[in-house]
């Protein structure tokens, strides 16, 4: 059964670890992440961008797939299904479809409009027992056509959004979606610390978890980050494993072209990546 992310992230913040949000793109992705969470006894958040939701057939299809896997695979750890970087309209669609958590990305609006729209969505989400994440300051790179320069959030604006009753908050601190460039300046821990000082016990979210050095991840967790998003790293590991399988000609051996065989190495690679991240984030064994 899907749960909201509120309780798992409160526990993570209090326990000084982070729960991973791993974005899903298809059945293999979802199955690999869920089985790893079960094996590692870790809570987990399945992230779905609007583009990935459309690719998988729509939000109702995603909810049906995830709920079916939870039951048939006997997944007995806390799992939240979360809209990632949702639009105002997309949030309402996911609330209606049965998601257990949503993110409204109002970071590209003036703060007044971000506050107005977030206020409305907090009421709608909480009325259904759904957790809600908001964002202040942009995340660098591009996701579903939204381009951010990686500006650091204004801590006072973060407090204004936090005071609306959101369950967790993404604050831009120099983080980037996708691969980090060679000239990346690193995370702004000064900004993160200032945000935590003003938002108190509210769990904070670090987007763009792929490629951030382990020491920065651990420091971010010590400064209030309780949710870390990973997508690109799973995509890269899946692609590398699939490429190796094909380049070695295994798809031409016997029935190696069968998608159940063709996609298996990539699915195993995702499991290994998720396991590595859960160990780094400190969430292993926290589902008990």
* Active site residues per annotation: 84
Backbone angles phi, psi at 137, to 5 degrees: 80, 140
Distance of CA 140 to the CA centre of its chain: 15
* 41 conformational bin, left if phi > 0, alpha if psi -120 to 50, beta if neither: left
Q: What is the H or E stretch that residue 264 is in? A: helix 264-281
Closest CA to 232 of 262, 260, 212, 203: 212
* 9 conformational bin, left if phi > 0, alpha if psi -120 to 50, beta if neither: alpha
- Determine contact, residues 220/189, Cβ cutoff 8 Å: yes
Residues 84 and 207: their CA atoms lie apart, in Å, by: 10
- Determine contact, residues 147/171, Cβ cutoff 8 Å: no
What separation in angstroms does the CA of 5 have from each of 1, 12, 40, 167, 176?
A: 13, 11, 18, 8, 23
Residues 242 and 247: their CA atoms lie apart, in Å, by: 9
């Amino acid at each position: 059964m899907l749960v909201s992310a509120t309780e798992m992230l409160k526990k993570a913040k209090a326990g000084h670890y982070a729960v991973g949000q791993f974005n899903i793109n298809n059945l293999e992705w979802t199955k690999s992440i869920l089985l790893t969470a079960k094996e590692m006894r870790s809570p987990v958040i399945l992230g779905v961008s609007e583009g990935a939701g459309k690719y998988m057939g729509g939000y109702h299809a995603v909810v049906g797939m995830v709920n079916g896997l939870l039951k048939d695979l006997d997944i007995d750890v806390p799992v939240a299904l979360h809209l990632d970087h949702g639009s105002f309209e997309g949030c309402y669609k996911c609330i209606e479809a049965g998601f257990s958590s949503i993110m409204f990305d109002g970071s590209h609006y003036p703060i007044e409009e971000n506050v107005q729209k977030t206020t409305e969505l907090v009421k709608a989400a909480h009325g259904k027992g759904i957790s809600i994440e908001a964002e202040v300051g942009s995340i660098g790179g591009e996701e579903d056509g939204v381009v951010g320069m990686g500006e650091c959030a204004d801590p006072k604006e973060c407090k204004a959004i936090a005071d609306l009753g959101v369950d967790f908050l993404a604050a831009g601190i120099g983080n980037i979606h996708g691969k980090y460039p060679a000239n990346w300046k690193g995370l702004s821990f000064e900004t993160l610390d200032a945000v935590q000082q003003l938002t108190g016990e509210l769990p904070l979210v670090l987007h763009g978890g792929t490629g951030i050095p382990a020491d920065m991840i651990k420091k971010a967790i010590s400064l209030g980050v309780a949710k870390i998003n990973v997508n690109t790293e799973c995509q890269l590991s899946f692609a590398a494993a699939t490429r190796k399988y094909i380049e070695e000609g295994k798809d031409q051996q016997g029935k190696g072209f069968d998608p159940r065989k063709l996609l298996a190495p990539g699915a195993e690679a995702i499991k290994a990546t998720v396991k590595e991240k859960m160990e780094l984030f400190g969430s292993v064994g926290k589902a008990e």
